[in-house]
Amino acid sequence: MSDITLSTPLVSAQWLKNNWGRDGLKIVDTTYTLPFLNPEKNGAQLYEEAHIPDAIFFPLDEIADTSSDLPHMLAPDIQFSAQMSELGLSSSDAIVVYDQNGWVASARVWWNLRMMGHTNVAVLNGGLKAWKAANGAVVSGKIKDAKGGIFHAKPNPALVRDIEDMRQHVKAQDVQILDARNAARFKGEAAEPRAGLKSGHMPGAFNLTHAALIREDNLLKDKHDLYDVFAASGLDLDKPIVTTCGSGITASVLALGLAVIGRDDVAVYDGSWSQWGGADNCPVATGEAQMNGQTT
C-alpha cells in the first residue's frame, strides 16, 4: 500500500524524480497516436524507444470497450479492473501518468482512472519532455510482463456522459458544453478527420481548443492563467460543465485544466463528436462559438 497521497491533479518532474522508486508509486506511460493520422510509430513503439524507468505501458485502445465501433470508449468496470490488475496496478497505488507527445492521452487516462473511482492519480506536468529537462533517466526496451496487481473499479457516473445524457443537456441547455476541437471543425468550416461525420457542433456549445491550456514548454499553464483562459471562452465557472472533443481525449485535457483551478466535478462526454456527429436525432449547429449566452 502506498503512503503517497496525490492531492493535486499535476506533479512536477522534480517531484517524480524525488519520489521515484517509492513503494506503491506506479508510473504509467500512456503515449498514444491517432491511427487515422497514419503516424510512423504507434504508442507502444514510442514507449519501447524511450520511457521513464519502471514505467508501465497503458494501451488506450485495448483498455476500452472493444464491443463498440467508437474509439477508446470506457471499458466496463469488470474489464477495467482485470486489465489494471494485469498491468500490475492496484487500488492502493499512487499512480502518475504521462505521455510523450503533447498531452495526447495522459489526461484521458487520468480521467479514466478517476471515473473508475481511483482518485490517487496525477499527471506528470509536461510529460516525458519535462522529465528529460529535469535530467530524469530514460531507458529503452520492450514492454515487460508486469507483476499482478489488485484493482477494484468503483465507477463514478457523475464524471461521464453518454449520448442520451447529451441529448437531454442540449434540449434543456442545463449544462455548459465545452468543445476542445479546433475552431474550423467546431464552426463546420473543416471536414472531420473521421469519415462519415457531420461538421459543426452541439447547439449552445462553447469552444476552447486544448492547446490554449498548454505553454510553449509543454507545461500546463498556471492556475491564474488557466482561469483567465476558461473565463475568456465564455464559461461561467460556477455552473455545471461537460467537456467534449473528437473522441474524448482532448476533452479530458480540458477536464484536467478545470480540475487544476478547482473544478474537479467536470464530466466528459465519452463518445464525443465521433458519436454525436454520426448519430441520428443529434442536432448540429455551425458558425461561431457561444459567448456568455450569446453567439459571437
pLDDT of residue 38: 63
pTM (2 decimals)?
Answer: 0.95
pLDDT of residue 37: 67
Domain boundaries, the chain: 10-155, 158-295
pLDDT digits (tens, 9 = 90+) for 267-289: 999 999 999 999 999 999 999 87
pLDDT of residue 9: 98
pLDDT digits (tens, 9 = 90+) for 167-219: 999 999 999 999 999 999 999 999 999 889 999 999 999 999 999 999 999 99
Domains 10-155 and 158-295 share a fold: yes
Report how far residue 93's alpha carbon sits from residue 283's, in angstroms, rounded to the nearest whole number. 42
CB half-sphere exposure, 202, CA atoms < 13 A: 33
Distance (Å) of CA 186 to CA 159, 181, 204, 206, 292: 23, 6, 12, 9, 17
Cross-sheet strand order for the sheet of 176-179:
160-161, 267-269, 241-244, 176-179, 206-207
Architecture of domain 158-295: 3-Layer(aba) Sandwich (3.40)
Report how far residue 203's alpha carbon sits from residue 115's, in angstroms, rounded to the nearest whole number. 26
Report how far residue 248's alpha carbon sits from residue 276's, in angstroms, rounded to the nearest whole number. 12
Is 65 within 8 Å of 143 (Cβ atoms)?
A: no
Is 161 within 8 Å of 170 (Cβ atoms)?
A: no
Residue with cell 481548443: 209
Report how far residue 291's alpha carbon sits from residue 161's, in angstroms, rounded to the nearest whole number. 23
pLDDT of residue 148: 86
pLDDT of residue 39: 77
Is 272 within 8 Å of 247 (Cβ atoms)?
A: yes
Bin 281: left if φ > 0, else alpha if -120 < ψ < 50, else beta: left
Residues of the chain with pLDDT under 70: 1, 36-38, 290-296
Is 65 within 8 Å of 75 (Cβ atoms)?
A: yes
Is 282 one of the catalytic residues?
Answer: no
CB-based contacts of 257: which residues, under 8 Å, 6+ apart? 210, 213, 220, 221, 226, 229, 230
pLDDT of residue 294: 39
Q: Which of 113, 245, 256, 261 is catalytic?
A: 245
| Candidate CATH numbers 3.40.50.720, 1.10.287.1080, 3.40.250.10, 1.10.3720.10; the one for domain 10-155 | 3.40.250.10
Determine phi and psi for 192, rounding to 5 degrees.
-70, 145
pLDDT of residue 293: 42
Distance (Å) of CA 82 to CA 43, 149, 196, 265: 21, 9, 34, 26
